């Protein structure tokens, strides 16, 4: 199907969704589908919930956000459960402005954009259908037509509560156009659209001298006064302010705390009473979710001003910190690159991970625990299993600094540096060293980094460089060892047999001759020394391994190569130590002989076929590891 056919199909589907009928017919829809009368807050909550919820590591993950916001599960769970859910139940939090507070580039604007785009799509579904009085510029709820003295009866019959007053314009239309016959008032289905200004409004502050309050509440159309005779005639008023147009949906206040005070006064009654003042009319009812965003500095300045106290109590602040998990930060960069024009550039494996490690280190705060440095903390936050630590330790670390993640390097800076690196290199391939170099150069140009922070960040780049050196060595090591996993498994099984014999004070039997042999102390020590196990500590380490094997056996599980992190590390280092000379000679020889050239080509092929490199990045990796081994 070509694009024009798809456009035609889309137009037909849009037409099918349209509905128009009398208020009496609308009540029939309500009997069958009472959810169409839900409040704006309830609609947002159900939109998020209907997209699906899954529990990962004890945390709720909302699928509505999961493809766009990464590493913010805790903040999003708090937002949904502490604001949207109670607001949907008509509890008092719905009478509060939702203020998202966090550092630049942390995802606040993305979150609001997701809610707005999501509502546009949700209003086209059966569960998210919205109906309004036809011809109303504020898309007013048709239930406002029901008189106050009948609303209790309506609740008993339909189970739906009605809040809000009929607007001055619709009150006049009811009398003049319909002769007071509520049941004949025309109702239509509406579809939220920010572009068409239906149910979604956005207000951005500008110069207070030039910005008019009419931008929020609408204004008098002076050209119609001669026709209608009075400024207080609702037909002479343009209900085209952002608060008018956002009725029934969502209103975004960009950089709310930069607004002039007179703009914020209107929010006082809108949040608490659900109405606002416009022109020479009675208060106008509005049902909308007001969401604003700001940074921490502006918020602190705002609450320090006593003149803003009335608004303080009408705001619910939701901190949106930076992501603190390396794997999620990596996903952020992948998404940004995928959406750019450099998506065709080959980015060598581990490049984005190394950049993410640097970024996360800048956001973390030193732990009070002497056994936890920033690198260990970074790994624990990312879900890595580290000997001697569990989930309780991770939660305690998070409680040490409640404001952790509210400062540090933002993702935009990293992507800017990756982009600069791609443009400068002029080759369709970049690696981790290119990006680290670019990050380092960019620190001098970053306007908001202090001298102290710069020194700290340079230290993080050195730390991450060492991490990459280890990763690079391991990568080449795995490529050099033919059937790496098999070699590692064989070596480990051999080690475990000897450990078992040593701890149980028994002998081993030679598989070829059948002779009895003592445990091979030389083999065991050659592996244990790789991770610094001393002669005095060897017995305790071997017994610990045996206990772990027994624990696995009791649970009916098999102890394998990945069951003990330190042992796995020791096996890897031992294999690499045995191969080091071969790797060193093969990668550093300028004029390799035929045998060496064959080995290099095999390794390059394996790096390309199995590890995701291309020929450029694979050869760069080999040269780099060769230089490391020759130091």
* Domains of the chain, CATH where assigned: 21-319 (3.40.50.300), 326-467 (no CATH), 481-578 (no CATH)
The percent of residues above 70 in pLDDT, for the chain, comes to 95
Q: Is the dihedral of CA 418, 422, 428, 433 positive or negative?
A: negative
**Better pLDDT: 483 or 421:** 421
Question: Which whole number is the average pLDDT over 180-199?
Answer: 94
Q: What is the pLDDT of residue 60?
A: 87
Per the prediction, the chain carries an average pLDDT of 87
Q: What is the pLDDT of residue 387?
A: 77
pLDDT band at 146 (very low <50, low <70, confident <90, very high): very high
Give CA–CA dist 312/303, Å, rounded: 7
Residue 448 has pLDDT above 90, yes or no: no
| 68 within 8 A of 110, measured Cβ to Cβ | yes
Q: Which residue has the tokens 């690079």?
A: 472
The count of other CB atoms within 10 Å of the CB of residue 409 is 26
Predicted TM-score (pTM) of this structure = 0.82
| 67 within 8 A of 339, measured Cβ to Cβ | no
Question: Which whole number is the average pLDDT over 539-556?
Answer: 90
Q: What is the pLDDT of residue 386?
A: 83
Residue 484 has pLDDT above 70, yes or no: no
Residue 585 has pLDDT above 70, yes or no: no
First to last CA, the chain: 60
**Better pLDDT: 565 or 343:** 565
Question: Which whole number is the average pLDDT over 161-169?
Answer: 91
pLDDT tens per residue, range 87-134: 999 888 888 889 999 988 888 999 999 999 999 999 999 999 999 999
The H-or-E segment that residue 494 falls in is helix 484-503
Question: Which whole number is the average pLDDT over 557-565?
Answer: 83
Cα 108 from chain centroid?
10
Q: What is the pLDDT of residue 306?
A: 79
């Amino acid at each position: 199907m070509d694009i024009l056919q798809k456009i035609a199909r889309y137009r037909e589907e849009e037409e099918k969704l349209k509905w128009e009928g009398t208020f009496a017919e609308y009540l029939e829809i309500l009997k069958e589908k009472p959810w169409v009368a839900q409040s704006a807050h309830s609609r947002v909550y159900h939109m998020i919930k209907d997209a699906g919820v899954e529990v990962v590591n004890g945390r709720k993950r909302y699928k509505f956000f999961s493809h766009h916001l990464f590493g913010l599960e805790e903040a999003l769970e708090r937002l949904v459960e502490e604001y949207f859910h109670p607001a949907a139940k008509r509890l008092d939090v719905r009478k509060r402005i939702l203020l998202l507070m966090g550092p630049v580039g942390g995802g606040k604007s993305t979150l609001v954009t997701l809610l707005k785009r999501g509502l546009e799509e949700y209003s086209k579904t059966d569960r998210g259908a919205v109906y309004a009085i036809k011809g109303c510029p504020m898309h007013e709820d048709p239930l406002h037509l029901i008189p106050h003295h009948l609303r209790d009866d309506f609740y008993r019959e339909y189970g739906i509560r009605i809040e809000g007053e009929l607007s001055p314009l619709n009150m006049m239309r009811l009398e003049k156009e319909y002769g007071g016959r509520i049941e004949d008032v025309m109702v239509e289905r509406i579809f939220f659209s920010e572009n068409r200004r239906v149910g979604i409004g956005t207000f951005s502050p500008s110069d207070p001298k030039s910005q008019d309050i009419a931008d929020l509440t609408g204004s008098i159309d002076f050209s119609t006064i001669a026709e209608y005779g009075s400024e207080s005639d609702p037909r002479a008023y343009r209900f085209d302010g952002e608060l008018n147009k956002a009725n029934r949906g969502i209103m975004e206040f960009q950089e709310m705390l930069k607004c002039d005070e007179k703009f914020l006064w209107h929010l006082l009654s809108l949040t608490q009473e659900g109405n606002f003042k416009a022109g020479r009319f009675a208060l106008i009812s509005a049902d909308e979710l007001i969401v604003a965003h700001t940074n921490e500095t502006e918020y602190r300045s705002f609450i320090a001003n006593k003149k803003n106290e009335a608004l303080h109590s009408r705001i619910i602040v939701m901190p949106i910190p930076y992501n603190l998990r390396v794997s999620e930060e990596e996903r952020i960069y992948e998404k940004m690159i995928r959406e750019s024009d450099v998506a065709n550039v080959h980015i060598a494996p581990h490049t984005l991970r190394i950049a993410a490690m640097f970024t996360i280190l800048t956001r973390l705060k030193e732990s009070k625990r002497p056994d936890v440095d920033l690198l260990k903390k970074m790994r624990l936050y990312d879900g890595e299993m580290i000997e001697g630590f569990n989930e309780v330790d991770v939660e305690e670390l998070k409680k040490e600094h409640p404001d952790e993640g509210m400062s540090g390097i933002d993702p935009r800076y990293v992507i800017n540096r990756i982009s600069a690196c791609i443009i400068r290199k002029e080759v369709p391939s970049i690696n981790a060293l290119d990006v680290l170099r670019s990050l380092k150069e960019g620190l001098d140009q970053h306007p908001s980094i202090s001298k102290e922070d710069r020194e700290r960040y340079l230290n993080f780049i050195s730390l991450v460089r060492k991490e990459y050196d280890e990763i690079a060595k391991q990568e080449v090591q795995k490529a050099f060892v033919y059937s790496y996993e098999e070699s590692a498994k064989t070596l480990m099984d051999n080690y475990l047999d000897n450990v078992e014999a040593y701890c149980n004070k028994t002998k081993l039997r030679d598989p070829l001759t059948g002779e009895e042999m003592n445990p091979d102390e030389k083999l065991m020590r050659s592996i244990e020394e790789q991770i610094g196990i001393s002669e005095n500590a060897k017995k305790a380490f071997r017994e610990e391994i045996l206990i772990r094997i027994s624990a696995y056996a009791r649970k009916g599980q098999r102890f394998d190569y990945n069951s003990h992190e330190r042992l796995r590390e020791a096996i890897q280092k031992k294999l690499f130590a045995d191969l080091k000379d071969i790797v060193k000679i093969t990668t550093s020889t300028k004029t390799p002989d035929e045998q060496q050239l064959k080995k290099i080509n095999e390794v390059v092929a394996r790096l390309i076929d199995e590890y995701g490199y291309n020929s450029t990045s694979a050869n760069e990796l080999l040269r780099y590891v060769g230089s490391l081994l020759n130091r």
